[in-house]
Structure 1
Amino acid sequence: MVDPLVEKAKNGSEHAFRMLIEMNKQYVFKCIYGVLRNQKDAEDASQEVWMKIYNSLPQYEHQGFKTWMTRIAVNHAIDCKRKLARKSEDLVDELPVKQTLDSAETRLLKKEQKQLVMRYLQDVPDSYREVIEGFYIKEKSYQQLANEQQVQVKTIETKLYRARLWMRKNWKEEDFR
């Protein structure tokens, strides 16, 4: 079924395109934020995505506007995330020697912190231990953990949330100093 609003926007109606933006801007923002996890970056990327959608409208072939729009938004967000990662790698490469030494010290402190957490992990309920160890110790992503445990990413998020609550309730901050 051809959406008349999309068709009008495709034929050059700025009003129709503004209406499409109004109807879908929250959805597009959520798609982008889901990838970038940063409010400002997601807002900037949303603006860029709407420009891409506008410029790509002539190529749209009525295969489902929301799906098409989502694909553009998510692909752009992934590109932005890659650019941000490259930019931070470039910054690290340009750090002076003193800051590199500081980062070695930071790595050592992180390693000690991990070892301390490993000792305390014995007390954590089995249902939380696996996600805590995977996320904090082995530094796996939510997606990797979900794939390994054959569950949805949302399940991993929930397990980690509950595990953090358990740790706050049962561990004392002074034990980690």
Structure 2
Amino acid sequence: MINGNDQAFRLLVEKYRNDVFRTIFAVLRDQKEAEDAAQEVFMKIYTALPHYQNQGFKTWITRIAVNHAIDVKRKQVSRREDIAEDLEQQLVAGTPKDSVEKEIIKLDRRRLVRKKLDELPENYRDVIYGFYIAEKSYQQMAEEQNVQVKTIETKLYRARNWMKKNWKEDDFS
């Protein structure tokens, strides 16, 4: 389609930048992060253009934007978990001996819960993490995932049923 024509690509960016930004912002909910991610998406689009096969351009770039935004969001969550672990380790290091055992038990339980969350099917993991760990509302998660609130309710219902069926209380002790 464009094959290295920088002027044509500038026009493409001009035409679709607001759509790409809105798509990314819906996932990230942070203007600065969304602006940075939008630039990265256009770089991805530029390098992927030779592979584009004329099957709905706006849909194609939107899919690239959504996938990139989800990747950025996952990295943010991962960074937050790393920071939380560092803080937990500092807590353990600075506590009196009698409460060190309690802190270690808490840390072990958290690790176990994280490990169990990783066992969840991916489509359930996001809603369980969002609702129970990140304490997001149904509405927030629906906006981030660009779905209806009812979809979030259904996913949470199914995720809870999956956990009841596949996990035992003994798994957490």
Distance 1:139 1:45, change over 3 A: closer
CA distance in 2, matches of 1:34, 1:52: 19
State the match for 2:44 in structure 1: 52
User: How does the TM-score come out when normalised to structure 1?
Assistant: 0.55
The structure number with the bigger radius of gyration is 1
State the match for 2:53 in structure 1: 61
State the match for 1:13 in structure 2: 5
State the match for 1:78 in structure 2: 70
State the match for 1:36 in structure 2: 28
CA distance in 2, matches of 1:139, 1:31: 20
Runs (4+) of structure 1 exceeding 6 A deviation are: none
Q: Letter of the 1:97 partner, please give it.
A: L
Matches within 5 A, 1:1-177: 7=1, 9=2, 11-95=3-87, 96-97=90-91, 139-142=136-139, 143=142, 145-147=149-151
State the match for 1:110 in structure 2: none
Distance 1:22 1:89, change over 3 A: same
Number of equivalent positions: 108
Distance 1:39 1:91, change over 3 A: same
CA distance in 2, matches of 1:148, 1:52: 30
What residue ranges of structure 1 are gaps of 5+ in the alignment? 1-6, 102-133, 151-177
User: How does the TM-score come out when normalised to structure 2?
Assistant: 0.56
1:27 deviates by: 0.6
Higher relative contact order, structure no. (Cα contacts within 8 Å, ≥ 6 residues apart): 2
Deviations 1:69-94 (A, max 9, x none): 00000000000000000000000000
Tell me, yes or no, if the aligned pair for 2:25 and 2:31 is still in contact at 8 Å: yes
Distance 1:66 1:139, change over 3 A: closer
CA distance in 1, matches of 2:152, 2:44: 36
